[in-house]
Structure 1
Amino acid sequence: MNATDPDDSPTAASLAEAPTDHVAGDTRRPDPRTDALADVLATWAPRAEHLQTLRTEYLAYLAGGGTADRDASPQHLTASTFVLSPDLRHVLLCYHRKGRFWVQLGGHIEPGDSSVAAAAEREAHEESGLTGLELAGLVPVDLDRHGLGDGFGRCAVHWDVGYVAFAAADSVPVVSDESDDVAWWPVDALPAEVPEQFVGRLTRVLAELSIDL
């Protein structure tokens, strides 16, 4: 979930020149979760041109052996959830312990997750403590590929897939062991400590929901 300076993030060109996660003699079994994600992305028509470009790059990454398994490669898929109030005026953020910033809920895809969307929903439950939280749909509203700092261990690049869930803004979250705090914030008055690209991400999410920030 750590976003670096955009200039430091891998570009489509650099990733095209780099080896993919698939190598000759790779005996890993096909992952139905990545296949299912590719099927969803193939028919997704995001509004933002930025997301349209990323959609194409994600499809190329998946076709080249992109993985949901964090142990298989330093670059891998992750899943996150933008938890919003029904009126879209508030967003639930966690203060990320490693990154030292406020960000949407999310994390790695675990072996027991049946899909990327299921991982996003699980992470939202775990990091918010809110009961009955469900994704609004299985189609993503956001894509964000970002490089990671040294504090994130073996992970080098996260190919994040973002979904949306709704909860009342007076719902009381419970802080998990992965965060220092979890709190509701007005979408037009976000905390100063957010990743550089986060405001743009949230703006695009709201645009996907036909609402402008």
Structure 2
Amino acid sequence: MELIRKIEAFVPWNDQEAQDKEELLRLLRSGGEFYSRENPTAHLTASAWVVSPDRQKVLMAYHNLYDSWAWLGGHADGERNLLLKAEQEVREETGLSDVHPVSDRIYSLEILTVNGHEKRGQYVSSHLHLNVTYLFEADPALPVRSKPDENSRVAWFPLWEAVERSTEPWFRERIYPKLNRKLSPFLSE
């Protein structure tokens, strides 16, 4: 399986990524179906950390469901190429016409908890997002727009302001700061 090979090749940046890498590999090797939301306990998601060419800004959307500024991405929903899925989600959620991956390598791995919630009038039980993150680049001068069924605003922020804009504690404390710190090797690319 291609995703297993990509995760095996991924070099964790911290303990969270190391632990999540091992658990992701264990789950994917178990033979369970994780590419679809048909698995109500855990399913794959693809996220994008979209930065400006100078790596000084990040693109965020105000996510309606979580009532917070957040990164871009979504459920795999059957798509096995998570890099392609992350790019599709960026284009759909922001209207960006020109966005491209900085690398085809996995940028970050996370297993994220999602509390039970209402979505389009239906209750969704608490579950896990088995998340694969890719690093993307786009020009902040390009026009962006919201996707009203998912987000109400889209905006570029200086890296650390993006962290502060999130109201989700785990993302503010652990995920977004990590993604910003991991940019160092990409500053000259």
TM bracket, shorter-chain basis: 0.7 to 0.9
| Worse overlay, 49-58 or 148-157 | 148-157
What is the distance in 2 between the residues matched to 1:68 and 1:155?
17
Higher Rg of the two aligned structures: 1
Output the amino acid matched with 2:175: R
- RMSD (Å), alpha carbons: 2.0
Q: Does 1:201 align with 2:175?
A: yes
What is the distance in 2 between the residues matched to 1:162 and 1:107?
11
Cα contact 1:78–1:108 (8 A) shared by 2: yes
Output the amino acid matched with 1:184: W
Q: Specify whether residues 143 and 185 from structure 1 end up closer, same or farther in structure 2 by C-alpha distance, changes over 3 A only.
A: same
Greater strand fraction, Structure 1 or Structure 2: 2
Candidates 33, 39, 42, aligned match of 1:75: 42
Cα contact 1:46–1:208 (8 A) shared by 2: no
In structure 1, the partner of 2:51 is 84
Output the amino acid matched with 1:210: S
Q: Secondary structure at the match of 1:134?
A: strand
In structure 1, the partner of 2:121 is none
What is the distance in 1 between the residues matched to 2:151 and 2:134?
20
Percent identity of paired positions between Structure 1 and Structure 2 = 26
TM-score, scaled to structure 2: 0.84
Runs of 4+ that moved beyond 6 A: none
Q: Does 1:173 align with 2:183?
A: no
In structure 1, the partner of 2:66 is 99
Specify every segment of 5 or more residues in structure 2 that has no aligned partner in the other structure, as ranges. 119-123
TM-score, scaled to structure 1: 0.75
Q: Secondary structure at the match of 1:189?
A: helix
- Superposed, which structure 2 residues align to 1:1-213 within 5 Å? 35-66=1-32, 67-111=34-78, 113-151=79-117, 153-154=124-125, 156-177=127-148, 178-190=150-162, 191-199=164-172, 200-210=174-184
Specify every segment of 5 or more residues in structure 1 that has no aligned partner in the other structure, as ranges. 1-34
